[in-house]
Structures are given as structure tokens and as C-alpha cells.
Amino acid sequence: MSYPNQNPYGPPPGQQPGYGYPQQQPPSPYGAYPGGGMMPGGPAPYPTVMPGGVKAARAMLFVLAGLNLIGLIFAVWGLGSVSKASKNTSEYASSDSITAMNVGKGLLIAIIVLIVLFSAAAIMLAVQFANGGSGVRVGAIIFGVANTLVSFMTFPFGLVHTVLGILVIVFVSKDDGSAWFNRPRY
């Protein structure tokens, strides 16, 4: 006895029975095709061209480096102004004002070092996007997180850094970004 047809309406007109089910292929007497079993001309198992999101993340890293260099100019200008003001103070100035100027100079020097480090990291990572591996991807994600956290400290002025840092994280973390950075390199 046969089981009743599961589709009460029957097969669609003109459709072969069993259509849509994978057909069993006999094993090839020659074995798997070298290079992963893919036939020549078939779809590549990895991207051969940098995806648009990854290109956008690389461009954002270059933009962040440029904005950091503009900030570096202002920080060096501010350090020069504070140094000039501290030299012009009279010998009768209070020790509190001298201490405040020294703290200001130290803070500006720390900011300058931080800006230089972030600029160098952004440029280095962006340059490595074309041939980098998963380490470049992880580095870009860590850079995006660090950039976003530091930009929260200067929120009104750091809003562009916040947005670009988040977008770098998102674009590099997507599946096409993962496929790009995990592709085999020869």
C-alpha cells in the first residue's frame, strides 16, 4: 500500500516529480578538483575584490588620520602658546599659576603623543587592508573601539570620531569583511 500524496493539490502542471530535490551525482573517477573541489569558472569561495564596506572602512581610517593631523596642529599651537605664556610670566607670579601652566604643558604633550599614535595606527591599518589577514581586521576593530572611547572624552568635538570609529567597527565586522580578511593569500 502506498502512502497518500502529501500535497493535496498534486504536483504543479508541467513539473517533473521529485523536482527541487538534490540529484545524486556519481562520484568522479578522477577525484576532487585541485584547489578545493571547485570546477574552473565556478564561483570563488573567497572574494577576489575588496568589498565596498571594507573599502569604506579603509577610507574612514584615512579620514580619521587626517582629522587627527588637524588636531595635532591645534595641539602643537596650544603647546606653543602655553610655553610662550609661561616664559612671559614675571618672577613674582604665584606658584599656583606656574604649576597650572606646567600641568597644561604636560597635558598637551600627552594629547600630542596620543594623537600621533592614533594617526600612525590608522594609516598603518588602512595601508594593510589590501593584503592583511585577520590580524589587520582585529587591529581595525580594536582601533575603532579605542577611537570611540577616546572620542567620548571630547564629545562635542569628537562626534565625528565617534561616528567614524563605530562605522569602522561595523564595516570590518560584517561577513563580507570577515571573508575578505580571512581569504587565502599566495
**Amino acid identity at 180:** W
Residues 6+ apart with CB under 8 A from 61: 122, 123, 125, 126, 129, 140, 143, 168
In a domain, 38, yes or no: no
Q: The domain containing residue 89 runs over which residues?
A: 52-181
Count of structural domains within the chain: 1
Question: Sorting pLDDT into bands at 50, 70 and 90, what band is 133?
Answer: confident
In a domain, 148, yes or no: yes
In a domain, 112, yes or no: yes
Whether pTM > 0.85 for this model: the answer is no
31 vs 111: which has the higher pLDDT: 111
Instruction: Please give the pLDDT value at position 34.
Output: 54
| CB of 168 closer than 8 Å to CB of 144 | yes
Q: What whole-number distance in Å separates Cα of residue 72 and Cα of residue 113?
A: 9
Instruction: Please give the pLDDT value at position 155.
Output: 81
In a domain, 20, yes or no: no
In a domain, 93, yes or no: yes
Q: What is the mean pLDDT of the chain?
A: 81
Please compute the mean of the pLDDT values over residues 85-113 and round it to a whole number: 80
pLDDT tens digit sequence for 44-75:
577 778 888 899 999 999 999 999 999 999 99
